[in-house]
């Protein structure tokens, strides 16, 4: 075996076929994710809504997505990961096409709410399925590669969607819907039901059990703090760049750097992520994210902003690679869907809190914003290290079973 073959095997080898079905379905689905980035363009252009109306419609979409992950987690435990994931994807496709041809504002609002619910259903079910089919030692690598598939597909989808949105926006809905159907059917027909963890058919499982898990609750709060910091890349970063006299194109360049870094670096570090203590790795990643956003107070040019994006993008790669594995390893098999739902809910809650927190801090000055974000991320890393012994013990118990 050549050195190249050995390197590829170390990064991609040894994972079961069911995982690669999930990986391929995720990639296809993210590649076809063309509608969401262009919601505002569609609603103002094709449907002639005012900016205020678009804001209200998008708020309704966010409200639907808010509880979606908790709902999906419960469904994944009760009815199975495959049923939940496939059902969510098929529902997303149906709602997407209904929205594409809707003219009535009330119908558009209803579709947007239902779409918010359906679009996020796959996440906890997918994560729980990874926990079912991948042994503990390979979970970090599996989640890191899945994150890579999301970014690889989404980058291609946005580029293609941008070209189509100018003259054939209806195609975006059809491509998105077809990608959802393909993802759902791939999982349904090619992932054996026997590989799922036993379902919670007794109905005794509940979110109360998750909330009684002190380590999981603390980890979820850490994840929330990290997410609030990370989401500023899409909330206050463009506002700060505008305040420095930079154009939207400059922000696009800076954000594109994030995609390039993730796509190029993620597959190179998947083995490193899995070979070290998860909490220490996560703490390193959160610290990098904190430093990246903290350094933003020192820059004012496109190149300067892009350089800070490189720093926090490296942190994002590290955190995302291990955090889902930590949550999965904390979960009993019959509650894995709920655990991943609570983990995902931290990001949903961040979507609600981050705009107010970020813009409030920015109103006090860019230095206040970026320094506070740095402190918050580094504080999260310190707390992560504090619960590291408990996480190591839980993981060791899981391996011993």
Looking at the chain, the whole-number percentage of residues with pLDDT higher than 90 is 58
Could you tell me which residue, 194 or 362, shows the higher pLDDT?
A: 362
**Average pLDDT rounded to a whole number, residues 132-151:** 90
- DSSP structural state of residue 401: -
Q: Tell me the C-alpha distance between 364 and 24, whole Å.
A: 45
Distance of CA 49 to the CA centre of its chain: 29
**Lookup result for tokens 């949550």:** 327
Q: What is the pLDDT of residue 235?
A: 86
- Residue-wise pLDDT for 2-49, tens only, equals 666 666 666 777 799 999 999 999 999 888 877 776 777 778 777 888
What number does CATH give the domain 206-401?
A: 1.20.1250.20
Does residue 142 contact residue 19 with C-beta atoms inside 8 Å?
yes
Q: Tell me the C-alpha distance between 21 and 16, whole Å.
A: 9
Q: Tell me the C-alpha distance between 168 and 149, whole Å.
A: 26
**Average pLDDT rounded to a whole number, residues 386-401:** 84
Q: Tell me the C-alpha distance between 65 and 84, whole Å.
A: 16
In the predicted structure, residue 204 carries a pLDDT above the cut 70:
no
Q: Tell me the C-alpha distance between 198 and 194, whole Å.
A: 9
Q: Tell me the C-alpha distance between 319 and 284, whole Å.
A: 8
71: its two tokens: 């709902």
14-191 and 206-401 share one fold: yes
- Whole-model pTM: value is 0.87
**Average pLDDT rounded to a whole number, residues 323-328:** 94
How far is residue 292 from each of residues 218, 312, 321, 355, 375, measured CA to CA in Å? Answer: 24, 4, 18, 19, 11
* Structural domain spans, the chain: 14-191, 206-401
**Average pLDDT rounded to a whole number, residues 274-283:** 91
Q: What is the pLDDT of residue 85?
A: 95
Does residue 121 contact residue 183 with C-beta atoms inside 8 Å?
no
Instruction: Determine the topology of domain 14-191 in CATH.
Output: Growth Hormone; Chain: A; (1.20.1250)
Q: What is the pLDDT of residue 1?
A: 57
Query: How would residue 285 be classed by pLDDT, with cut points 50, 70 and 90?
Result: very high
Query: How would residue 334 be classed by pLDDT, with cut points 50, 70 and 90?
Result: confident
């Amino acid at each position: 075996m050549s050195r190249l073959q050995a390197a590829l095997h170390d990064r991609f080898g040894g994972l079961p076929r069911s995982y690669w079905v999930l990986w391929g379905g995720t990639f296809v689905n993210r590649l076809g994710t063309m509608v969401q980035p262009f919601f505002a363009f569609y609603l103002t252009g094709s449907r002639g809504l005012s900016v205020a109306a678009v804001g209200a419609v998008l708020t309704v979409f966010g409200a639907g997505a808010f509880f979606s992950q908790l709902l999906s987690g419960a469904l994944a435990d009760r009815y199975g990961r495959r049923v939940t994931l496939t059902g969510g994807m098929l529902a997303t496709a149906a709602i997407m096409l209904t929205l594409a041809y809707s003219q009535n504002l009330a119908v558009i609002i209803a579709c947007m709410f239902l779409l918010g619910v359906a679009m996020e259903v796959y996440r906890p079910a997918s994560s729980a399925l990874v926990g079912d089919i991948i042994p503990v030692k390979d979970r970090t690598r599996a989640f890191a590669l899945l994150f890579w598939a999301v970014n690889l597909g989404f980058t291609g989808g946005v580029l293609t969607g941008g070209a189509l949105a100018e003259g054939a926006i209806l195609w975006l809905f059809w491509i998105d819907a077809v990608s959802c159907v393909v993802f759902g059917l791939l999982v349904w027909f090619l992932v054996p039901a026997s590989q799922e963890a036993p379902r919670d058919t007794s109905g005794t499982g509940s979110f109360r059990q998750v909330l009684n898990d002190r380590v999981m609750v603390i980890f979820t709060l850490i994840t929330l703090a990290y997410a609030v910091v990370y989401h500023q890349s899409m909330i206050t970063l463009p506002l700060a760049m505008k305040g420095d006299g930079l154009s939207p194109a400059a922000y696009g360049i800076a954000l594109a750097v994030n995609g390039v870094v993730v796509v190029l670096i993620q597959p190179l570090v998947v083995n490193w992520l899995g070979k070290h203590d998860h909490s220490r790795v996560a703490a390193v990643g959160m610290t990098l994210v904190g430093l990246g956003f903290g350094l933003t107070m020192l820059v004012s040019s496109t190149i300067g902003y892009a350089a800070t994006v490189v720093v926090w993008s490296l942190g994002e790669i590290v955190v995302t690679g291990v955090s889902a594995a930590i949550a999965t390893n904390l979960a009993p098999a019959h509650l894995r869907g709920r655990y991943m739902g609570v983990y995902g809910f931290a990001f949903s809650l961040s979507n609600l809190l981050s705009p107010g927190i970020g813009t409030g801090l920015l109103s006090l000055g860019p230095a206040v914003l970026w320094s506070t974000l740095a402190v918050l991320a580094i504080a999260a890393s310190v707390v992560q290290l504090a619960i590291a012994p408990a996480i190591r013990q839980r993981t060791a118990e899981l391996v011993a079973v």
